[in-house]
Amino acid sequence: MTGNLSERDAKVIWHPFTQMKTAAPAIAIVSGEGAKLYDEMGNTYIDAIASWWMNLHGHAHPHISAALRKQAEVLEHVIFADFTHRPAVELAERLLSKLPPNQARVFYSDNGSTAVEVGLKMCFQYWFNIGQPKTKMIALEGAYHGDTFGAMSVGARSAFSAPFEAFLFEVLFVEAPVPGKENLALAQMQKMMAENPGQFAGFIFEPLVQGAGGMRMYEPEALDRMLEICVQNEVMIIADEVMTGFGRTGQMWASDYLTYKPDIFCLSKGLTGGTMAFGATTCTAAIFDAFWSDDKLKTLFHGHSCTGNPLACSVALASMDLMEKPETWANIRRIEKAHKEFSARLHGHHLVKNLRQTGVIIAFELETGSESSYFNGLRDMIWRFFLEKKLLLRPLGNTIYILPPYCITDDELSKVYEGIESLLSFLEMQ
């Protein structure tokens, strides 16, 4: 093989969410440490978006890699039907001790999309098993829940799902209760319930922050009012905490801000501190009990070859150790505070629209004179600008956001803020 990694990659690899014809060569990362990533050309990048919102404690964290190494020397994998192992049991116990007390069981899978698929299946089959089948789901406009067919079905219809539209199941969408739309969202929910009595199996949402939809944020009170309607109408509550879980919103779970607790939680990304592909779906005892039967047909017929992988479970346990350290929470508070100060600096800037923050996530839309969208013409230019500044700050269309690993230093954060401010100055000069 000739050429550097980037050149060899261009001949053999098909990258995710990438128009391969027009994309620039992929940057080959050779190592990482803390919030820094190092490429094969000797460049250093600050990972300001935690590598697709995965990383919590920094790249190549010694505590996590030690746990991985230790487990790999003992047991790398074992079938998870009819077998179990220490890391899987311990992780389930530990997750349940952190989740709201109504959560009783943990089902493992491979990633965020599969965590959502399992949640949807648990929900639909719960109603099927108790003899009251319900076939409709409610979701939020602007939602993103993953790329498998079930997850796509409950995601907002968009260019991403257009080729598959005919294969997606029936979902009714209500507005997300973002500022200014709280009452509309509530009214839509009430109307839908009145028009489809007893037909909705569940309501799935990303609590407080819709990630891929553009870091759209909303208040827990607004969501609670919608959840109250769900409870009154026996609609199951499914929280997709794939992105918001593990401290991103300033609490362990975004659902910690809610009065009405979800029946089902979907977890991934931060579950392993962002180290490995892994997913978990948790549910209440009532849901689990609907599958508990002498009748084999009531089984949850779902599983993946890698379900409950011991390496992933061990890494998740190690990440949980770090999550429990006071330093981690001090870092979360430090980032929240720094973002607030940065917010004050950006406030009122004529190119900054809809500036918002929840926990360690700060976002705004760049004023481009056209409607905000993933395909906004400025997106590629913004991305290149940040790359030149050695910042991994990949915008969602014209939405610029920061979602850093908790270990990011003050100095690194300052560089990220300065990078954004220099983009604004650059655009002002155009």
Ligand X SMILES: Cc1ncc(COP(=O)(O)O)c(C=O)c1O
Nearer to ligand X, 144 or 253 (CB): 144
User: What's the min distance (Å) between Cβ of 226 and ligand X?
Assistant: 17
Residues sharing a CB contact under 8 Å with residue 133, sequence separation 6 or more, in sequence order? 124, 127
Nearer to ligand X, 107 or 417 (CB): 107
Residues lying near ligand X in the complex (CB under 6 A): 111-113, 116, 144-146, 206, 211-212, 240, 242-243, 268
Determine phi and psi for 12, rounding to 5 degrees: -130, -15
User: What's the min distance (Å) between Cβ of 244 and ligand X?
Assistant: 7
User: What's the min distance (Å) between Cβ of 254 and ligand X?
Assistant: 10
Three-state helix/strand/coil letters over the chain = CCCCHHHHHHHHCCCCCCCCCCCCCCCCEEEEEECEEEECCCCEEEECCHHHHCCCCCECCHHHHHHHHHHHCCCCCCCCCCCCCHHHHHHHHHHHHHCCCCEEEEEEECCHHHHHHHHHHHHHHHHHHCCCCCCEEEEECCCCCCCCHHHHHCCCCCCCCHHHHHHCCCEEEECCCCCCCHHHHHHHHHHHHHHCCCCEEEEEECCCEECCCCCEECCHHHHHHHHHHHHHCCCEEEEECCCCCCCCCCCCCHHHHCCCCCCEEEECHHHHCCCCCCEEEEEEHHHHHCCCCCCHHHCCCCCCCCCCCHHHHHHHHHHHHHHCCHHHHHHHHHHHHHHHHHHHHHCCCCCEEEEEEECCEEEEEECCCCCCCCCCCCHHHHHHHHHHCCEECCCECCEEEECCCCCCCHHHHHHHHHHHHHHHHHHHHC
User: What's the min distance (Å) between Cβ of 268 and ligand X?
Assistant: 5
Nearer to ligand X, 222 or 361 (CB): 361
Nearer to ligand X, 87 or 211 (CB): 211
User: What's the min distance (Å) between Cβ of 112 and ligand X?
Assistant: 2
User: What's the min distance (Å) between Cβ of 88 and ligand X?
Assistant: 19
Nearer to ligand X, 212 or 366 (CB): 212
User: What's the min distance (Å) between Cβ of 114 and ligand X?
Assistant: 7
User: What's the min distance (Å) between Cβ of 22 and ligand X?
Assistant: 23
User: What's the min distance (Å) between Cβ of 52 and ligand X?
Assistant: 6
Q: What is the dihedral of CA 271, 274, 275, 278, to 10 degrees?
A: 40
Nearer to ligand X, 205 or 385 (CB): 205
Nearer to ligand X, 242 or 407 (CB): 242
Residue nearest to ligand X (CB): 112
